[in-house]
């Protein structure tokens, strides 16, 4: 499990929850960890704790607002200017919003943070991932994806917004993106896999904007697994020889799992890819 020693690893949303525990686990394996955070104060506190626990000073903070295309592209430029390679990219950051909100770029917020951000971040980092091959991409999805239904006629939930449906849709899109990207990468020696972390005690509901929802999440805590336990699978995918060369799969509890028939629909995956490129203004 020491395949990640000395390698450069990006973890988004790493100031708390699964991301923080994943960053800690990578640091303990002597990786060079780049913590991508939105808030410098919380990020600094998390970094200090990770360095103290891992005895690894090679943990670095980089700022990025994943709801902003400009911020993501600026981050990519700064990363490439600082680092010559990228061995592991872990798209972990996630959020949901009880009321429909729109980013500065005009995207529905849940879609922007949970799907568009990992898509554009991965897309922009592909050249350095390819030049660093063999390299690995790990996308964090959610079991909520099973209740999703992608409507390309209402892609940004303008006609009807339901927060849980928006979140589930984004997590289904992450799965489809994983499978489609793996197919497009082919033999480039860049693997991409997804993770279903389970029912995890994290700060995911902090943007819910509802006292009732916040209370609901607190009441569910006794039935949730720890972020440390949930981080075991992304750590496994980042560092284990067992998954070397394996791509286009989904994992839970460090084992490959099958996902729904809908998630494997290649025509929908292709339509989603093309729709996303068009939305982001990327010419394929």
167 in catalytic set: yes
What is residue 240's predicted lDDT score, i.e. its pLDDT? 96
Q: In what order do the strands lie in the sheet with 255-257?
A: 59-63, 32-37, 8-12, 88-91, 135-140, 190-195, 250-252, 255-257
What DSSP assignment string belongs to 192-252? EEEE---SB-SSGGGGS--HHHHHHHHHHGGGSBPHHHHTHHHHHHHH-GGGTT--S-EEE
End-to-end CA distance of the chain: 37
pLDDT digits (tens, 9 = 90+) for 32-46: 999 999 999 999 999
Task: Of 185, 85, 68, give the one whose Cα is nearest residue 125.
Answer: 85
The answer to whether 122 and 86 are in contact (CB under 8 A) is no
The answer to whether 50 and 20 are in contact (CB under 8 A) is yes
pLDDT digits (tens, 9 = 90+) for 103-162: 999 999 999 999 999 999 999 999 999 999 999 999 999 998 999 999 999 999 999 999
Q: What residue spans define the domains of the chain? A: 8-280
| Both structure tokens of 105 | 């770029």
What is residue 188's predicted lDDT score, i.e. its pLDDT? 86
Task: Please tell me which residue in 115, 145, 161, 167 is annotated as part of the active site.
Answer: 167
How far CA 194 is from CA of 47, 53, 235, in Å, comes to 25, 27, 12
What is residue 219's predicted lDDT score, i.e. its pLDDT? 46
The answer to whether 8 and 87 are in contact (CB under 8 A) is yes
- Residue ranges for the chain with pLDDT beneath 70: 1-2, 199-224, 284
The answer to whether 176 and 268 are in contact (CB under 8 A) is yes
Q: Say yes or no: domain 8-280 is CATH 3.40.50.720.
A: yes
What is residue 202's predicted lDDT score, i.e. its pLDDT? 52
The answer to whether 42 and 25 are in contact (CB under 8 A) is no
| Both structure tokens of 227 | 């972020």
């Amino acid at each position: 499990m020491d395949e990640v020693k000395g390698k450069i690893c990006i973890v988004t949303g790493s100031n708390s929850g699964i991301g923080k525990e994943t960053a800690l686990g990578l640091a303990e394996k002597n990786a060079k960890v780049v913590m991508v955070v939105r808030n410098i104060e919380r990020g600094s506190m998390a970094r200090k704790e990770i360095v103290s626990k891992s005895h690894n000073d090679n943990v670095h903070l980089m700022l990025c607002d994943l709801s902003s295309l400009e911020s993501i592209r600026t981050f990519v430029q700064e990363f490439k200017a600082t680092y010559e390679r990228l061995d592991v990219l872990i798209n972990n950051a996630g959020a949901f919003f009880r009321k429909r909100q729109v980013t500065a770029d005009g995207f529905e917020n849940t879609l922007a943070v949970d799907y568009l951000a990992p898509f554009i971040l991965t897309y922009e980092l592909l050249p350095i991932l390819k030049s660093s091959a063999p390299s690995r991409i790990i996308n964090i999805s959610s079991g909520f994806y099973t209740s999703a239904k992608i409507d390309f006629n209402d892609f940004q939930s303008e006609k009807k917004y339901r927060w849980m449906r928006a979140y589930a849709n984004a997590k289904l899109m992450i799965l489809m993106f994983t499978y489609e990207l793996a197919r497009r990468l082919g033999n480039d020696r860049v693997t991409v896999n997804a993770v279903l972390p389970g029912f995890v005690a994290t700060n995911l509901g902090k943007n819910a904007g509802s006292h009732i929802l916040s209370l609901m999440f607190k009441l569910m805590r006794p039935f949730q697994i720890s972020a440390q336990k949930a981080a075991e699978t992304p750590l496994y995918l980042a560092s284990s020889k067992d998954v070397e060369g394996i791509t286009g799969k989904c994992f839970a509890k460090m084992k490959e799992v099958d996902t729904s028939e809908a998630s494997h629909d290649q025509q929908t995956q292709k339509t989603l890819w093309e729709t996303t490129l068009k939305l982001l203004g990327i010419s394929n």
